[in-house]
Amino acid sequence: MRLFTCLLVLSVFSLFCSCSDPAPASLENATIDLQPKPVNKSASERPAIWCWDTWSKDKDYESMLRKMKAHGMTGLLLNATAEGYKAVVPIAQKHGIELHAWLWILNNRKIAKQHPEWLSVNRNGESIRDRKAYVDYYQFLCPAIPGVRDSIYAQVDSILQIEGVAGISCDYTRYVDVILPETLQPNYGLVQDKEYPEWDYGYHPYMIEKFMKEYGYDPRDQVEPAFDWKWVTFRYEQVNEIVNKLAVIAQMHGKEISASPFPSPTVARRICKQDWANWNLDFVFPMVYYGFYGGTDEEWIAACVRESKSAMDDRDAEVYAGFFVPDHLNDTIPLSKAWEIARQHGASGISVYDFNSITDEQWEMIREFK
């Protein structure tokens, strides 16, 4: 359920990741259905308006969820500990709020702390353990390693077992950004006009070995690995396999799965090797954060929603456009207009990041959304 400026505020989220014992045999042996659909909800049965939030024991969730309900916002994507979910679930049920667990999947500090040898490696052979990838809280794991997968499946399974958590929403289900959004590159003194080795992650020795067993050559020997389609798709598939197994695990619990990927399949593949058009999701929150990605007009939002809708139609999944609240302050595209654009171009609703950032004026706009 993310980009660097807003993520500086969010870095504490990864502290909330929980980890349990290795995944049980039932998860290991689960067959990946091509189109798992655990609940089969229609858009009319699901909240149209959602928000992201991070749990804190000091927050007044009674007041927060009452306010959401009063303004027609009935979906909550909550990042929390097991304790946090168990505390908020009864309050959410009281106020008619549907709660899904917002989980950081591959950027996973809990697992990384236990197994730093599983951290992602760039094309220069440098692990995140030894060389920071933009920011300290970037603790991305290699998705090919069996232990990484087992640990993720166990984490997610433990959350899905919590009664009242209606589903999971996967965030950071990708690689480190090989190309930052243009508006963020100056913050790091960078000009990324192509894929540079120091930012090109996915070269863990296990990943290389796995690829070589399948294809018989080392992708690092290519003049420009970015143009080696076998290597590109191989890396996509390592992440896709994790998401699609998580879909099976959610199905086993009779719960839904969603994700918060980059704003469109095209942008996601280009800047973080995220192939989310091939994920078996029930619904999706593409992060249409036009202030980050260089979008300057309504058409950019519309194009992202149209492409996302087209990709998800093939998988019978709904699109809920994700908006970064500060993008819609004192500009030419207020939140109410963003809602209109998203709905006109096929979105079933929206989600906003995050609850605490919504202004009084925007709350009134949300109340009027139809």
Cβ-Cβ contacts under 8 Å for 67 (sequence gap 6 or more): 363
Nearest to 328 by CA among 300, 290, 356: 290
The CATH class of 4-368 is: alpha beta
Cβ-Cβ contacts under 8 Å for 363 (sequence gap 6 or more): 67, 71
Per-10-residue mean pLDDT for the chain, 370 residues long? 38 37 48 50 92 97 98 98 98 98 98 98 98 97 98 98 98 98 92 96 98 98 95 98 98 97 97 97 96 82 97 94 90 90 97 95 93
The two structure tokens encoding residue 49: 């308006």
Cβ-Cβ contacts under 8 Å for 153 (sequence gap 6 or more): 23, 27, 28, 245, 246, 249
Q: What is the 3-state secondary structure (H, E, C) of the chain?
A: CCCHHHHHHHHHHHHHCCCCCCCCHHHHCCCCCCCCCCCCCCHHHCCCEEEEEECCCCCCHHHHHHHHHHCCCCEEEEECCHHHHHHHHHHHHHCCCEEEEEEECCECHHHHHHCHHHECEECCCCECCCCCCCCCCCCEECCCCHHHHHHHHHHHHHHHCCCCCCEEEEECCCCCCCCCCCCCHHHHCCCCCCCCHHHCECCCHHHHHHHHHHHCCCHHHCCCHHHCHHHHHHHHHHHHHHHHHHHHHHHHCCCEEEECCCCCHHHHHHHHCCCHHHCCCCEECCECCHHHHCCCCHHHHHHHHHHHHHHHHCCCCEEEEEEEHHHHCCCCCCHHHHHHHHHHCCCCEEEEECHHHCCHHHHHHHHHCC
Nearest to 146 by CA among 138, 137, 154, 157: 154
Domain boundaries, the chain: 4-368
117: left (phi over 0), alpha (psi -120 to 50) or beta: alpha
Supply the pLDDT for residue 193.
94
Q: CA 359 to CA 149: how far, in whole Å?
A: 40
Q: CA 130 to CA 144: how far, in whole Å?
A: 20
Cβ-Cβ contacts under 8 Å for 357 (sequence gap 6 or more): 325, 326
